[in-house]
Amino acid sequence: MLDEAPGGTGKLLGVIDLDLCIPILTFVFGEAQLGGTGALVSLARLRQEFYGLDPDEALFLERLHKECLHELGHTYGLVHCHHPECVMYLSNTVHDVDRKGRTMCRACGDILQAGTKGG
């Protein structure tokens, strides 16, 4: 990944239409550099069709929104949260993605705000 985002943008988020995995997990919805500049989100398992179900564009876009926020949160130094409604909650299944919210819990929001002041 990149050490520095192009044009001084600060963060770079990629979206890929392929399934992703890491050495310790058979799949991930995304991956990011903790406190870095780069993040990547996979579309593959966010689609209903992956699970043999009819397409649902609104649900797909909601899942994508959450996972993009989640991975970007990692680039700002946030780790996984233990609150299931927080966007920084670890999603092991698509049902976890559906259950969590689009926003951070107060604790994660406070950490993010403290970390971005002056930067």
**Active-site positions?**
71
Which strands sit side by side in the sheet containing 12-16, from one edge to the other? 12-16, 38-42, 30-32
Tokens encoding 102: 């689009």
CA distance 108 to 27: 25
CB 79 within 8 A of CB 115: no
